[in-house]
Amino acid sequence: MTTHTTAPGTPETPDTPDSNAPAATGLIGLPATVGRALATGGGALAVVSAFLAWTWTAEFPGDLTVYGYPGGLQVLVLIGGLFTTLFGLASYGVKGLKVLTPGNADSALKLAALGTFATAWYTVIAISAKLGGVVNLEPGGYLVALATLVALLGALALPFQRPEPDPADPDDTGWEAFRHRARQKRANFKAAFAAEPPAPGRTLPAWAEILVITGVMALGLLVFTYGIGTEYDELFIGFLLTAGFGFAALAKAGLVARISAITTRHRTVTMTGAFVAAAAFPFTQSDDQYATIGVYILIFATVALGLNIVVGLAGLLDLGYVAFLGVGAYTAALVSGSPSSPLHVHWPFWASALLGAVVAMIFGVLIGAPTLRLRGDYLAIVTLGFGEIFRITVLNMDGTSGPDVTNGSNGISSIPNLNILGFDFGQEHQLLGTTIGRFANYFLLMLLITLVVVVVFRRSSDSRIGRAWIAIREDETAALAMGINGFRVKLIAFALGACLAGLAGSVQAHVTYTVTPEQYQFAHVVPPNSAFLLAAVVLGGMGTISGPLVGASLLYLIPAKLQFLGDYQLFAFGVALVLLMRFRPEGLIPNRRRQLEFHEDTAAPAVLSKAGA
């Protein structure tokens, strides 16, 4: 089969066939035209099946017994089927649909079909397991299982460029030969889902690009609201499958790269739109049930963004960062009028928040001054020790083992709600015709603080000190040779990151009512903790703004929704992290420099941004 290559910015032209080039075939032995027809037709049948009944009883949540009206997991399969059908038509070159695939339509089709198959078969298996066998399926259930299987088989028949096999050593033992064949199979599977880099395409007018950004923000709000509002476990797992494979398909199609380029050209508009969409979240909720998760996600995300300065920009591995969150929380709790506080003072919020940030920054300087001359693993061990020292210290300051300051394991309780200019955050309020509860009030306050942290991160990363941080991260020896004062630069990053964590901690103290030592361990079932914070930065994308925000949102939302797994919750969560790091080690929203480190075959952009939007 003749292969085609496309250089960015140039029209697609067929290359001269090379007899030595590996053949472009699919994972299964079907012609490509048949594969596209099966994948497209299977996706269309999956859409049709969503309007049929999948089971006869409403005992399975979501009420999948109705004809003509999709519900529950049927909606997710409907979305996956639409993606599969559209990408299938785009792979045929249908006029008007090529705009959906500036990258590689075949790769997007494969992932869309795989995601639809996973969601549909998970639903069918869940129905059979919950109700007692496949006999409980209605015709729609059988149809969706068959249609998605056909779509997946058709997608796997699409051609891909097999990598040139490495020559085998004739002296290899049986085990070494087996490992060589396994490596080649993994390379083939990876190539099957690889996408060509998207062509630059036409530049839209500024107003059109702003409309695109607005639509993306609205879609993001819709997806987040749907995910956080899933009412039962099966629906949330289906949501994860659909959202994960859907995002991967859009990335392979080149739409993510195209939208990223648009947002980079309009960074201020993008940031404004993102915060407007986030501020609209409480108005989409009828009660405070999910606003509770929202405010904790913002606290977690804000602290992760502060850690991103230390880890993502300066390259300092800090494993005790959650202690600075605790310093800010305890400081604010001591001066906010709690009856458990030995100080018996009640400062206004702005004063307690400022004090929490300053005290955390002072601790950052005191801890960083003697330790930042260390590098790598040694620095990580010292910061981990500081985190444990902080927890043990506040645990022992109970009046028995030490001075009576923090009430030991009981912590500081009954922290009063905030009252700013007569606005009581603990009471319900009517705003724009919507009742805003306690957690929604704190959500909006925390959103403002997150905006402050984002502005600080963006301005500092674009400054001279930000460029010095990046130089230290890339090669500290070379940076020192160029005249950068490495110790001073690292100490500033450490102090600034601690200050931002203390600011978030001052709000957390009022949201949780009680501050206890158990909240600030290195590893704890409920985030935030140092392990989850570091995972949020790495998973989301080191050195970017949106990366840690997205990573923190996922790392808080997923454990909160997977509580039904009980003792297997952390196991499932760990497996998910391993898979994400295996297939996307640069993070969900990577910094361009870091993306090039993991994908050497990716074309380097003309300008490398210091921090992503």
Per-residue pLDDT tens digits for 74-91: 999 999 999 999 999 988
Q: Report the alpha-carbon distance of residue 198 to residue 258 in Å, rounded.
A: 8
Determine the pLDDT at residue 598. Answer: 56
Please check the confidence at residue 9 and state whether its pLDDT lies above 90.
no
In the three-class reduction of DSSP (H, G, I as helix; E, B as strand; rest coil), residue 453 is classed as: helix
Determine the pLDDT at residue 17. Answer: 39
Each residue's pLDDT tens digit, 220-263: 889 988 988 888 888 999 999 999 899 889 988 888 888 888 88
Please check the confidence at residue 590 and state whether its pLDDT lies above 80.
no
Cβ contact 116:83 at 8 Å: yes
Each residue's pLDDT tens digit, 18-67: 434 444 566 677 788 888 899 999 999 999 999 999 998 888 988 899 99
In the three-class reduction of DSSP (H, G, I as helix; E, B as strand; rest coil), residue 199 is classed as: coil
Q: Report the alpha-carbon distance of residue 197 to residue 283 in Å, rounded.
A: 39
Going by pLDDT thresholds of 50, 70 and 90, the confidence category of residue 189 is: low
Please check the confidence at residue 606 and state whether its pLDDT lies above 50.
no
C-alpha closest to that of 195 among 272, 279, 271, 252: 252
Q: Report the alpha-carbon distance of residue 419 to residue 189 in Å, rounded.
A: 58
Partner residues linked to 3 by β-bridges: none
**CB-based contacts of 584, cutoff 8 Å, min separation 6:** none
Q: Report the alpha-carbon distance of residue 81 to residue 40 in Å, rounded.
A: 9
Q: What does the block give as tokens for 476?
A: 């500290």
Average pLDDT over residues 177-186: 60
Each residue's pLDDT tens digit, 308-339: 999 888 888 888 888 999 999 999 999 988 88
Judge residue 1's burial from the number of C-beta atoms within 10 Å of its C-beta, 0-12 exposed, 13-18 middle, 19 or more buried: exposed
Average pLDDT over residues 471-482: 88
Least confident range from 119-133, 243-257, 317-331, 390-404: namely: 390-404
Average pLDDT over residues 257-275: 87
Determine the pLDDT at residue 609. Answer: 46
Partner residues linked to 538 by β-bridges: none
Phi, psi values for residue 412, rounded to 5° = -105, 115
Determine the pLDDT at residue 120. Answer: 95
Cβ contact 529:535 at 8 Å: no
Fill in the amino acid letter for 79.
I
Query: String of b and e for 500-529 (b: at least 16 CB within 10 Å)?
Result: bbbbbbbbbbbbbbbbbbebbbbeeeebbb
Element (H, E) at 293: helix 289-308
Please check the confidence at residue 137 and state whether its pLDDT lies above 60.
yes
Q: Report the alpha-carbon distance of residue 541 to residue 609 in Å, rounded.
A: 14
Using CA atoms, how far residue 246 sits from 219, 226, 243, 367, 563, in Å, is 13, 15, 5, 44, 24
Cβ contact 76:242 at 8 Å: yes
What's the distance, CA 189 to chain centroid? 25
Query: String of b and e for 596-612 (b: at least 16 CB within 10 Å)?
Result: beeeeeeeeeeeebbbb
Determine the pLDDT at residue 332. Answer: 92
Please check the confidence at residue 128 and state whether its pLDDT lies above 70.
yes
Element (H, E) at 25: strand 24-25
Going by pLDDT thresholds of 50, 70 and 90, the confidence category of residue 144 is: very high
Partner residues linked to 24 by β-bridges: 161
Determine the pLDDT at residue 46. Answer: 95
Average pLDDT over residues 418-430: 83
- Most confidently modeled range among 41-45, 321-325, 407-411, 414-418: 41-45
Q: What does the block give as tokens for 65?
A: 């017994």
Determine the pLDDT at residue 550. Answer: 87
Cβ contact 46:90 at 8 Å: no
Going by pLDDT thresholds of 50, 70 and 90, the confidence category of residue 145 is: very high
Judge residue 446's burial from the number of C-beta atoms within 10 Å of its C-beta, 0-12 exposed, 13-18 middle, 19 or more buried: buried
Phi, psi values for residue 380, rounded to 5° = -60, -40
Across the chain, mean pLDDT equals: 82
Average pLDDT over residues 395-415: 84
Using CA atoms, how far residue 85 sits from 109, 121, 349, 532, 547, in Å, is 8, 18, 54, 38, 30
In the three-class reduction of DSSP (H, G, I as helix; E, B as strand; rest coil), residue 516 is classed as: coil
**What does DSSP assign to residue 287?**
S
Q: Report the alpha-carbon distance of residue 541 to residue 416 in Å, rounded.
A: 36
% of the chain surpassing 90 pLDDT: 24
What's the distance, CA 523 to chain centroid? 19
Q: Report the alpha-carbon distance of residue 84 to residue 408 in Å, rounded.
A: 57
Q: What is the pTM of this model?
A: 0.79
Average pLDDT over residues 276-282: 89
Each residue's pLDDT tens digit, 496-544: 999 999 999 999 998 888 898 888 887 665 667 778 888 888 888 888 8
Q: Provide the Cα torsion 528, 301, 307, 504; round to 10°.
A: -80
Going by pLDDT thresholds of 50, 70 and 90, the confidence category of residue 600 is: low
**What does DSSP assign to residue 599?**
-
Q: Provide the Cα torsion 266, 267, 273, 279; round to 10°.
A: -170
Determine the pLDDT at residue 187. Answer: 58
Please check the confidence at residue 393 and state whether its pLDDT lies above 60.
yes
**CB-based contacts of 373, cutoff 8 Å, min separation 6:** 487
What's the distance, CA 55 to chain centroid? 34
**Length reported for the chain:** 613
The verdict on whether omega for the bond into residue 528 sits within 30 degrees of 0, i.e. cis, is yes
DSSP for 423-438 reads EETTS-EEETTEEE-H
Whose tokens are 């906010």? That residue is 336
What's the distance, CA 453 to chain centroid? 18
Please check the confidence at residue 420 and state whether its pLDDT lies above 60.
yes
Each residue's pLDDT tens digit, 192-228: 555 444 444 567 788 888 999 999 999 988 998 898 8
